[in-house]
Amino acid sequence: MPAHALSAAPDTLADLADIPQLDVAAELLTLLRDAGTEPRADIQLEALTLAVAADLPVLLWGEPGIGKTAALTQLAAALDLPLTTVIASVHEPSDFSGLPVIGDDPAEHGVPMAPPDWAVRLVRAGRGLLFLDELSTAPPAVQAALLRLVLERRIGALRLPPGVRIVAAANPRSSAADGWELSPPLANRFVHLQWTHEHEVVVRGLGGTWPRATLPRLDPQRLPDAVAFARRAVCGLLSARPALVHRLPSTETRRGGPWPSPRSWEMTLYLIAFATAAGSSRDVLSLLVRGTVGDGPGLELLASLDRMDLPDPETVLADPIGAALPERGDLRQAVLDSVVAAVRERPERSRWDAAWTLLVRAMETGAPDLVVVPATTLASLRRQDWDVPAAIERLAGAVALSRRADQAAAAAKGRR
């Protein structure tokens, strides 16, 4: 008797007593597993689906029981992709590099490397989500065999079709059973996402409704601009900071995470383009960028992205009254510093006066302390034949007040 038919089939108490208890248990399990989904802002899920859409291998890091496997199961169902789960630690290296099969004449035809059955099923389906679970418990020999699978999508003589996406999950070594650090070559092939739980999501999910994973909606009209923006962002940073092109961490633990290399910068470029075309939030982009090149380089890139949209200092000097100043303090400070630097490079009376006009506007429309350093630097650029503009008088009070505040803060710190 099907479990779902229990509530309709029996008519008497005797019939109820005759129902096998395992059928009743199956009915109860069906009810417990009956959960729905809802659209809900979740930056972890959005970052994961964006990386999957970009066809980049993703590695979810999180403590045991945090919901990594459940998230992948729900993602596969939402994207209508057949899920193939492979526990990396229980396989031999040959399971990923291919099993040698001796033919009739090995000297003539060679020895082909036969792929495992799960790889053949993925190729036949033409699409799917390959989930490599417990990656941090795979020994070094297995990790080495996984390199070609993750990067080239090859298993022996078989190549996985473009419709197959790869996602892995791992526990930190401290909480993994017989855990290993990831080898640097394997770690550098993944987008690393830290998977954590959110209290409200867990409570609502246990109540029967989990967040729904959906592919990002890419705007076709924004694709060319998104690619141009991503290239300009990455190339601009690496031109100014060539040391970031390749930086292998010094410790074994950090080598098993995200770090900058030409390969990971290319992945970062892809992710910026996808996030831009999808209109993703800065929080989502931050997870992806820092999960690809590491926290330090990632934060530098995010800061440079903010400055890419700042006005050109020459444009500001040409119209200091009408120029738009950013609301964010750090970005406003960057604009003021760039304007003063432009005056230093080409000191002219008209440009010097325009810079003072801008500093007055900045003081009147924002935090006065932001103008202290630029004003001090700009004052040092004055030539003897340049008259002191009236704007300096309006700034003098703010500069003096800021200096007294700094001195008071220093004195208070010295008394502690």
Q: Which residues contact 3 (CB under 8 A, 6 or more apart)?
A: 23, 24, 26, 27, 29, 30
Least confident span in 2-11, 133-142, 170-179, 367-376: 2-11
Burial class of 289 by CB neighbour count within 10 A (0 to 12, 13 to 18, 19+)? buried
Task: Tell me what pLDDT residue 73 has.
Answer: 84
- Stretch 158-176: mean pLDDT: 84
The pLDDT value given to residue 165? 94
406 — phi, psi (to 5°)? -65, -40
Q: 328-373, pLDDT tens digit by residue?
A: 888 888 889 989 999 999 999 999 989 988 988 888 888 888 888 8
Q: Give residue-wise pLDDT tens across range 112-151.
A: 777 888 888 999 999 999 999 888 888 888 888 899 899 8
With a cut of 90, say whether residue 404 has pLDDT above it. no
pLDDT of residue 405: 46
pLDDT for res 5: 53
Token output for 24: 């009743």
- Alpha carbon of 393 to those of 123, 135, 240, 354, 389: distances in Å? 75, 65, 38, 15, 8
pTM for this structure?
0.75
**Average pLDDT for 18-43:** 85
- pLDDT, residue 111, reads 65
**The predicted structure's pLDDT at residue 416:** 58
Residue 168 bridge partners (DSSP) = 59, 132
Is the pLDDT assigned to residue 244 strictly greater than 60? yes
Mean pLDDT in the chain?
84
Please identify which residue in the block is written with the tokens 């855990």. 179
Ordered alpha helix ranges (H), 57-105: 68-78, 94-97
339-353 burial, b at 16+ Cβ within 10 Å, e below that, comes to bbebbeeeeeeebbb
- pLDDT bin (cut points 50, 70, 90) of residue 4 is low
Mean pLDDT of 41-68: 90
Beta bridge partners of 58: 167, 191
Extended strands (E) in 195-305: 209-211
pLDDT greater than 50 at residue 190? yes
Give the pLDDT score at 184: 92
